Structure 1
Amino acid sequence: MDKLKNFIDTNREAFEDDLLPEGHFDRFEKKLAPARKNRFKLYSLCAFAAAASIALLFLFRMPGGTPAPIHQKAAIQKTCKAQEEINELRVYYNMQIDDILAQMETLYKKEQAPGAAGLLQESRKILKDNYMFEKTILPTLPCSNDALFAMNQHYSTSIETLNFMLEQMERVTTENVTTNK
């Protein structure tokens, strides 16, 4: 890099000449591709092709368009069946979770034992985690038996944990009752 800079510095007058050789522009224009005079035909042809492809796209997407293949219809029906099972399973587990939380809240209101508030607060965190599972992870799962398996694993773990916390709350409240008597 230094050699190049030194060369330019020593030959400064050769680089300051702004004039190009005579006929340079003429030779350069001859090398360029000839300009298209009528671009209107090209643009109108492209616009027509784009409009035709959009019209075909809408035609195939509209109801009553081309029918779906038979194997695709079967896959859609299978997907809908799995989606129904997923929704039913979600409702079933949510009912179980709500039942356990209702029991915990009843125990807490009946006898506000030390430690019961912490257990109730942690159980609400599990409820929040289940809500986040339903909103973020469940929609990304494939509509298949794999999704049902993942849901069973997640919800059964949550229910086992809530049942354990309910047992602990029952133990805490019975100990509190016996110590207060």
Structure 2
Amino acid sequence: MNDLLEKIIRENKDAFEEDAPQGHFERFEQKLDKEFKHRSRFNRKFYLQLAASLLFVLLLGNQVRMYLASNQPEPVTLASVSEEYGEVEYYFTSSINQGLKEWEQLSKDGFISEADQRMMTREMEEFDQMQAQLQKELEANPDDERVINAMLEYYQAKLSVITLIIDKLKEVKQQKLTHNETQI
């Protein structure tokens, strides 16, 4: 087979050495350039448009987030009145949060009934409403000592209630544990 092909090529050597028609290579090169440029320009343009659109959406989202964040006023707290009050407020809030964590742990351990859980939720909602009202008053009158003292009394009362309940629950837990030990 190879011999036959080689024989045909040798016999028609003159036909193969003929030059291509005039302008053939130029037309062929123009067609290649046109096809290549069309494809690459389309892809590059598409990706650039996609990237620009994505960037625009991200920037727009960031601007909306910043606008919404700037329009929401931060709640007025004792820390905004003075640094000393801020430290006192921090002490109370961290102590209250610690008490609530202990409550949650006792609840997980099964020492708190469903009724007690609902009662505590109602109490905390009432305290939250009271705090919102006091914050409004503090915002309206940031230098009024009566409002500041009311805020401090609010924190003391909330901490006292939580501490009292947690202490009683710990006593009940201890009694249950010792009662179970004596029965074994």
Bigger relative CO (Cα 8 Å, ≥ 6 apart): 1
Scaled to the shorter chain, the TM-score interval is 0.3 to 0.5
Give the number of the structure whose residues are more often helix, by fraction: 2
Q: Give me the TM-score of the superposition, normalised by structure 1.
A: 0.45
Q: Give me the TM-score of the superposition, normalised by structure 2.
A: 0.45
